[in-house]
Structure 1
Amino acid sequence: MLLLYGLTILAGIANAIQPGQNATLSKSLGLPVTAGLITRLVSSAALLIGGLAIGKLEMPSGQQLAAVPWWAWLGGFFSVLLILAQLYASPAIGAASFLGIIVTVGVAVSLVLDNYGWVGFPVHPASLWRVLGALLMIAGVAMVALF
Structure 2
Amino acid sequence: MQWVLVAFAFGAGILNTVQSGSNTTLRKGLEQPLWSVVVVFAVALATALLAAVVSGQKLPPGAGVAAVPWWGWVGGVLGAIYVFSMMLMAEKLGAAVFMGLTVTAAVITSLVMDHYGLLGFEVRAAGLGRVIGGLLMVAGLGLIAWF
Query: TM-score normalised by the shorter chain: which range applies?
Result: over 0.9
Q: Distance in 1 between matches of 2:11 and 2:45?
A: 19
2:74 partner SS:
helix
Q: Distance in 1 between matches of 2:138 and 2:77?
A: 26
Size of the aligned set, in residue pairs, is 146
Which runs of no fewer than 5 residues in structure 1 stay unpaired?
A: none
1:63-105 per-residue CA deviation (whole Å, 9 max, x = no partner) reads 1111110111111111011101111010110000000111110
Aligned position for 1:10: 11
Superposed CA RMSD in Å reads 1.0
Which runs of no fewer than 5 residues in structure 2 stay unpaired?
A: none
Give the TM-score taking structure 2 as reference length: 0.95
Aligned position for 1:25: 26
Kindly state the Cα deviation for residue 7 of structure 1 after the two structures are TM-superposed.
1.6
2:142 paired with 1:134: no
Q: Distance in 1 between matches of 2:5 and 2:136?
A: 26
2:68 paired with 1:104: no
Q: Distance in 1 between matches of 2:49 and 2:4?
A: 22
Percent identity at matched positions?
40
Kindly state the Cα deviation for residue 3 of structure 1 after the two structures are TM-superposed.
2.5
Aligned position for 2:48: 47
Task: Report the AA paired with residue 135 of structure 2.
Answer: L
Task: Report the AA paired with residue 106 of structure 2.
Answer: G
1:6-61 per-residue CA deviation (whole Å, 9 max, x = no partner) reads 221211110110011001100111111111110001111111111211223x2122
Hey, which bits of structure 1, 4+ residues long, moved more than 3 A? none
